[in-house]
Structure 1
């Protein structure tokens, strides 16, 4: 360990789009965390909001044989959807996909 404090990622403010920074951490477990963010928009937006972070799947199994939580195992590329043919355009609206019998 480097001894440096944990740095959480900055996110965009959902109100104004400015940068928001983590101020504190709330509810925590091994797979879930709530992070409290504060907008730093120079125009004084001041929005405060909570972001949830959750471990949802495993892309590479642990070397330890007895995990405390079992997450579903997926391939990294399929989980990230990096090379999917449907990434070229905007997402389709729900319920508009053609159904073939």
Structure 2
């Protein structure tokens, strides 16, 4: 595995800053990402729509920012209760589509 950039506390990237300016909330951000990704994988079956599956090396590099290359996929609920569960969570937290 490649060595993490210097002064990033072994994060492997500089998204949270460097050295003494390293963001103190980085652990909360990483944990929130993990929870969100796990929730999506729990709730939905993700399928490629283009017949081609993107690889980890397919990316767009626009200088400082890198992002995955565009791809089409569909999200299908894993079980019929998913819309009800998601609606209940959104109501509990007073969220509306478009707020996120």
TM-score, normalization: structure 1? 0.22
Higher fraction of strand:
1
Larger radius of gyration: 1
TM-score, normalization: structure 2? 0.22
* Bigger relative CO (Cα 8 Å, ≥ 6 apart): 2
